[in-house]
Amino acid sequence: MLRYTLMRLGVFAGCLVVVWGLVYSGVLPRGLGDSNGMWIILLALVVSAPISFVVLRKERDRASVSVVQRVDRMKANLEANRSQEDEAVDSAHAQGEAAQAQSQAT
Domain with 70 in it: 56-106
Same domain, 10 and 30: yes
CA distances from 29 to 25, 32, 33, 46, 85 (A): 9, 9, 12, 15, 64
Number of domains the chain is built from: 2
Same domain, 82 and 34: no
> What contacts 25, CB < 8 A, 6 or more positions away?
none
Condensed to tens digits (0 to 9), the pLDDT of residues 72-98 reads 999 988 888 877 776 777 777 777 777
Predicted TM-score of the model (pTM): 0.63
Same domain, 12 and 33: yes
Condensed to tens digits (0 to 9), the pLDDT of residues 11-49 reads 999 999 999 999 888 888 887 666 788 989 999 999 999
